[in-house]
A and B are shown apart, each in its own frame.
Chain A
Amino acid sequence: MADPRIVIVGAGPAGTRAAETLVAAGLRPIVVNEAAASGGQIYRRQPPGFTRSAETLYGTEASRATAVHATFDGLVGKIEYRPETLAWNVQDGALHILHGVQASRLPFDALIIATGATDRVMPLPGWTLPGVYSLGASQIALKAQGCAIGRRVAFMGTGPLLYLVASQYVKAGAAVVAVLDTSPLSARLRALPLMAARPDVLLKGVGVMLRLRRAGVPIHLGITPVAIEGDGEVALLRATAANGTALEIACDAVGIGYHLRSETQLADLAGCTLAFDAASHQWLPVLDQDGRASVAGIYLAGDGGRILGADGAETAGKLAAYAALADLGRTVPDADIEKLRSSQRRMDRFRRGLAIAFPWPAHLAAALPDETLVCRCEAITAGELRHVATALDAPEVNRAKAFSRVGMGRCQGRYCGLAGAEIVAAARGVGVEQVGRLRGQAPVRPLPIAARVDGA
């Protein structure tokens, strides 16, 4: 009997560990990677010819990152590897992929979706100005290109990444003019019991804060963003401090981000059920503890299913691979699986702590001035979205999209969807889970009209 065809989408830590687990079980999975190099985002690899050490690039995570890269490099001869290949749709047990302009179909017996996450952003006036980037982008510029996003950089948002990127910039010699966190100190204290689930991670976070303080970077907690201003580019960041004073930070770049947003589009297209997750305040695929989605044969691993961070992703990758193997009738090591599950439970406690320490400031959406652009792709304002939600009575986000165009652009709602839902909900006076989520539509990324079926 032929070996089962298992396809993995994503070559970050989750995809790498899933592939490793399947290869160890004697299989030859297909790994589809949108990028040219493995590693995903957090462990993004620098281009060939770059010289910085792993310590410089990944700091305290250097050995983990190096290990993930080395594992993947060692697997390449044992898997069917498809780099620079976009998975743009999934239907009827087949993944639809594109390499350059060659389109083809990969039927599968099991699909492990390890598509990771993007930053989650809350719009503010001026956020589309040249010079504003996500925290992830700020980190990629440094890690993968050796660049800072500007010469006087401010960082704003919340979450551990806010401090990590700022401290990486300081370490690299960039001028960091301020770090603005919307979460108050009290939130962090409240979350300590849950965050104590991972004392090592907690300590690393403290270390990061200390570096920033020692470098004299002003850190403001409990701020309210007001606006980013400038004439065609960033020149000033305005916010209100926790005590009510006005903050005006002269800068030429702002990195913004409020933790992460799972890339769930493929899972959605595969027909998997998503449910509103109160802790992370977004719609996530419904998964069992091993990553099985609601559709048989579909598994999710890593931040694309449940945001647990890079090491959580590695564990999730192994669990998803074991689940696929078990469901295909192969023997799996129960004791190891139990250990992995217990590790996931710890990481999940920590995740819930993070959400308490660094909450998504949903309330900011309702307060956005009407002229604020919400949908970057289509240039639609908060006011237009509110009008549609009230005067045109759109009760949920898909109707609101049909009337306002929010979510209709190239990014398919990645950067406007969550804030847009908060605005619609606030305008209608209902909880955000009442207004639903943007329905997934193919292609997962823009598809070239020049694409042709292989051989056609």
Chain B
Amino acid sequence: MNEQAADVIIVGGGFMGAATAFFLRQRGRSVILLERGLIGQQASGVNFGNVRRQGRHICQLPLANRSRAIWGRLSELIGEDAEFLKTGHLRIGYRPEHIGMMEAYRDASDPYGLDLELISANQLRQRFPFLGPEAIVGSFAPHDGHANPRLAAPAFGRAARRAGATVVENAEVDTIDKVSTDFLVQTKDGRRFRAPAVQISAGAWGNRLSTRFGEPVPMIVKGPQMGVTEAVPYALTPVLGVSTKDKLEAIYLRQVTRGNIVFGGTGHGPADLDTIRARVDPAVTLHQFTQLTRFVPALAALRIIRVWSGIEGYMDDDVPVMGPSAKVPGLFYAFGFCGAGFQLGPGVGDVMAELIDTGHTSTPIEPFHISRFAAS
């Protein structure tokens, strides 16, 4: 029976898998990328599209920095820019406690070059006249921006293929067996693949695979609640969000240059790993309306034309699973990015390729290692 072999097999063709495949090829490693559906079809393709470092856990910032550098030269690297725009990212606060939160984050993130600028109430309205009256403080990250999630992962997939990766779509992995120093991967349609290294980047399905290797993780699967308005004149340049611990106020929105305003947040909906279905809760959409007009009152004149959801994997410590397996040599993980993986995609690919290729990476990712869940 025919068997395809390579240096690395990647299971899961979302942003993480496609980017890793591309960067492995830059390092001269042969790679087979296996994707059950189409590249970037799941969480990678339906998320908000935020390319932000502001607001991340401090432990993610080295990785986010590495990723941000790649976003800045995407065209030169993969021939497409996925509509990345460095528009800046403004987070607002509604209450005095939010001022404290922002100051603390600015101080803690200072070593990482986010160049955050705290803005007081009057200056806020001068610079961003579309803001509603409740915003009393803002934190502006000038190097953040946004891109088009529907385009980014597929662009990496095409670039990986052009660089010589074997990218196989419509190939659902059935079994992964370790035989001596190699992994034997079989897809449901009977095709067989072999490699000494395997990366699991299967997103919300990652836990099902890590569990097979005796490394379950506490993952919760949820559906983001997204929507988009009709196109209107381009006026809201920065990506917009709220710095708050109250989830019900945590709306986020961005306007694309065509004029539509994409938004999400304040809640999640159910997502089903087996039917691969996730829904938007109409009650969440209606609640989002109240937060949208609170943030930008002028939005009250507009209509939304579409809502959508997706399937995202969240870790209960809000930190992804990334790095080598703690149990199986040659096995690597990059999944569970808690709805905040989009900006990290290129960086994850670059770091994982470095790790798999050389055995180590210059970017600290120990806080993401799966070993943190091993029974102590």
Contacts and interface: CB of A to CB of B under 8 A. Distances in A.
B240 to A, nearest CB: 15
A441 B289 contact: no
Nearest to B37: A399
Contacts of B281: 91
B341 to A, nearest CB: 18
A443 B289 CA distance: 14
A410 interface: yes
Contacts of B289: 449-452
Contacts of B293: 449-450
A402 interface: yes
19 contacts: A89-B282, A103-B286, A403-B154, A410-B230, A410-B305, A442-B280, A442-B307, A443-B304, A446-B303, A446-B304, A448-B303, A449-B229, A449-B289, A449-B302, A450-B289, A452-B290, A453-B286, A456-B286, A456-B290
A449 B292 contact: yes
B38 interface: yes
B303 to A, nearest CB: 4
Interface string B261-304: 00000000000000000011111011001101100000111111
Given A442-B307, A446-B304, A449-B302, A402 B280 contact: no
Interface string A421-456: 000000000000000000001110011111111001
Interface in A244-263: none
A402 B290 contact: no
Contacts of B283: 453
A395 B38 contact: yes
A133 B91 CA distance: 46
Contacts of B128: none
Contact of B306 (A103, A441, A451, A452): A441
A449 B303 contact: yes
Nearest to B288: A449
Interface in A165-179: none
Given A91-B279, A402-B45, A449-B299, A392 B154 contact: yes
Contacts of A83: none
Interface string A289-309: 000000000000000000000
Given A408-B306, A442-B280, 20 more contacts: A89-B282, A91-B279, A96-B282, A103-B286, A105-B282, A392-B154, A399-B41, A403-B150, A403-B151, A403-B154, A410-B230, A441-B306, A441-B307, A442-B282, A442-B307, A449-B293, A449-B302, A450-B301, A452-B289, A456-B286
A440 B12 CA distance: 26
Contacts of A91: 279, 281-282
Contacts, number: 68
Interface of A: 89, 91, 96, 103, 105, 392, 395, 399, 402-403, 408-410, 412, 441-443, 446-453, 456
B304 A449 contact: yes
A379 to B, nearest CB: 10
A96 B304 CA distance: 15
B308 interface: yes
Contacts of B41: 399
B307 A443 contact: yes
A447 B289 CA distance: 10
Nearest to B299: A449
Interface string B213-237: 0000000000000000110000000
A103 B38 CA distance: 37
